[in-house]
Structure 1
Amino acid sequence: MNRCVIILPYYGRFPNYFQLFLNSCGANADFDWLVFTDDRMAYRYPSNVIVHYESFSDMQSRVCEAFDFAPEISAPYKLCDVRPMYGYLFRDYLDGYEFWGHCDCDLIFGDLSRFITDDMLDRYDKLFPVGHLALYRNTEENNRRFMLPLDGRELYREVLESPRSFTFDESYLSTNINRIYQTYGFPIYLRDRSGNVAFSNELIQLTRYDEELDTYLMEPPLRAVYEWDRGALRRWFMRLGVFEQQELMYLHFQRRKMRVDCDMDSDRFQILPGSFEPMPVEQVTEANIRSLRWRRRTDGMRHRIDMTLADMRFWWNRLHMAMNLLSHRKADR
């Protein structure tokens, strides 16, 4: 048995590239996954990914039966707020594991063991500040820390009794699990090692949470070639005239439509802003990198319109969340 198991409840149809996601899990033999879903498509699940078929109502019942009040879990998206509670809710599945975690499925993993070291697992009770991948030490005390009051409020109860999103699982609004760990001085690793792809761009541009500034920063545009190769996720680029290679823990394609033009069983493929495609060269080199595609192949105007509308919907929802939070705080005074 591995030290870590990652829990993924998901209800509805998985993304069209879910098999590629599963293959990237399978390449990480040092980690296990537990998938709870109602999608019964005939995916090829690797031996370290165990699927449990259930309905969303089963998940709702699991949450409701765990608390002595009435949680409001009306839609699967609300599970983002529930993620820090998985160690408590799924404790019957966690015997023998030192760590449990949660992740999204709209991503491709690289070699996790290069980024999640034994030293980190020995030192920290929680790893990573974002919701698309986080790990928690599997102890009864740690699995209940989400219940600790924050600023004199039973935040977890407010989160569960409200249908709106609090982003309780990550450092976005102030109402998040990381602030509980910071407030009480619990050991937490807050460096963002993700490859979080900005969804409104025609190229792959990464954004990361900066723990010192407590905000998300986007890297400058970078002409880079991305490749998944037998479990390793890399990118190559030229910076100030120097040819560089960087290995990534994972890429997260939040709300980005991706076309699969490579074989689903391929052990090597290129990742472009809108597609997964066969790798056109045996090796990316300084001599050939400028000849390789790196932008989205699409109608640029149509893409910009689609992304502008998506941006407007996204930021309207965020504004609505912030206004609700402000209104709630005023009502508490």
Structure 2
Amino acid sequence: MNKCVIILPYYGRFPNYFQLFLNSCGMNADYDWLIFTDDRTPYVYPANVTVHYESFADMQARVRGTFDFAPELPNPYKLCDLRPMYGYLFRDYVHGYEFWGHCDCDLIFGKLDHFITRDMLDRYDKLFPVGHLALYRNTEENNRRFMLPLDGRNLYREVLESSDGFTFDESYLSTNINRIYQTYGFPIYMRDRSGNVSSRSTSIRLTRYDDELDMFLTEPYLRAVYEWDNGTLRRSFVRLGTFERQELMYLHFQRRRMRVDCDMNASRFQILPNSFEPMPVERVTADNVRTVRWRRRSDEVRHHIAMVAGDARFWWNRLRTAAGRSCRGRRHDDC
């Protein structure tokens, strides 16, 4: 048994690049994934990924049967608010693991062990401030900490009894699990190590949460070549006249439409702002990095602008239903 199991409930059709996601999971042999889904597409699941087929009604029944009141779970998207509860909801499945976690499926993993160290696992009860990947120490006490009051409110009951989104799983609105850990002084690792791709950009620009500023910041434009190479995720670029390679823990393509123009079983591929493609060079070097395509073509830009406009309407409607909760002036890719 591995040290951590990452839980992913997902209902509906997986993204068109889901096989690439699974392949990136398979390259992290020290981690297991547990997927609950009604999508029976015959994907090739790696040995460390277990799939349980079930309906969303099965998930709703699991939630109702776990709590002694009447939780609201009107749609699969509401599961984002329940992520900090997975150790409690899925306690029969996480037994024996040192850690459990949750993640999105619209991402590609690099080498998790290059970023999640033994020292971090020994020191912290929760790792990472964002919802697309977070880990929790698997103890009965830690798995129930989401129930602790925050600011005099029985927040988890508010979350479960409302159909509104609270972003309980990450530092976005003030109604989140990280503030519970911080308020009670529980050890939490708040550095954002993700590669969260801004949905508004026509190139790949990363957005990260800054705990000291309590806000999300988007990096400046960077002409970089992104590649996945036998499980290692990296970007190569020239900065201030110096050629650099930077390894990434994962890339998150939040609501970004991606084409798959490479072989689904490719051991190496390039990641562009709108597609996965064969690498055009054997190795990215200081001599060729500026010759490799790195952003969208003009027709793809027009398509992207239309997509972002639709997303903006979605998020505006979501924020309007936030029932008194606000972003408190923060910058966020989705705010």
Residue 201 (structure 2) pairs with residue 213 (structure 1): no
Q: Does 1:35 align with 2:42?
A: no
Letter in 1 for 2:294: W
SS at match of 2:36: strand
- Note the alpha carbon deviations across 1:303-329, whole angstroms, 9 max, x for none: 353144135224413531445437xxx
Task: Count matched residues.
Answer: 326
Alpha-carbon displacement from aligned partner over 1:67-103 (angstroms, at most 9, x marks no partner): 1111010100000000000000000011210000000
Give the alignment's TM-score, normalised by structure 1: 0.96
Q: How far apart, CA to CA, are the structure 2 residues paired with 1:57 and 1:218?
A: 38
Report the counterpart of residue 250 of structure 2 in structure 1.
Answer: 250
Partner Cα distance (1:199, 1:70) in 2:
35
Q: Is the 8 A contact 1:126 1:137 kept in 2?
A: yes
Match of 1:330? none
RMSD between aligned residues = 1.2
Identity of aligned residues (%): 78
Map 1:1-333; keep pairs closer than 5 Å. Answer: 1-299=1-299, 302-303=302-303, 305-325=305-325
1:329 aligned partner: none
How much has 1:201 moved relative to structure 2? 1.2
1:296 Cα deviation after fit: 1.4
Deviation at 1:257, TM superposition (A): 0.1
Equivalent residue of 1:299, what SS? helix
Q: Which consecutive unaligned segments of at least 5 residues does structure 1 have?
A: 327-333
Tell me, yes or no, if the aligned pair for 1:110 and 1:233 is still in contact at 8 Å: yes
- SS of alignment partner, residue 325 of structure 1: coil
SS in 2 for 1:46: coil
- Tell me the residue number matched to 2:331: none
Q: The residue matched to 2:270 in structure 1 has which SS?
A: strand
Instruction: Give the drift of 1:109.
Output: 0.1
* d(CA) in 2 for partners of 1:167, 1:243: 38
Distance 1:229 1:31 in 2: 19
Q: 1:289 is matched by which residue type in structure 2?
A: V
**Counterpart-to-counterpart distance in 1, 2:298 and 2:12:** 28
- Aligned residue type for 1:306: A
1:242-300 C-alpha deviation (Å, 9 max, x unpaired): 11100000000000000000000000000000000000111000100111000013515
Q: Contact conserved, 2:165 with 2:322, CA < 8 A, in 1?
A: no
The code of the aligned residue for 2:190 comes to L
Residues 50 and 298 of structure 1, relative CA distance in 2, 3 Å threshold? farther
Q: Aligned with 2:325: secondary structure?
A: helix
Q: Encode CA deviations 1:15-61: one digit per residue, 9 max, x unaligned.
A: 00000000000000010000000000000000000000000000001
The aligned residue for residue 331 of structure 1 is: none
So what's the TM-score if we normalise by structure 2? 0.95
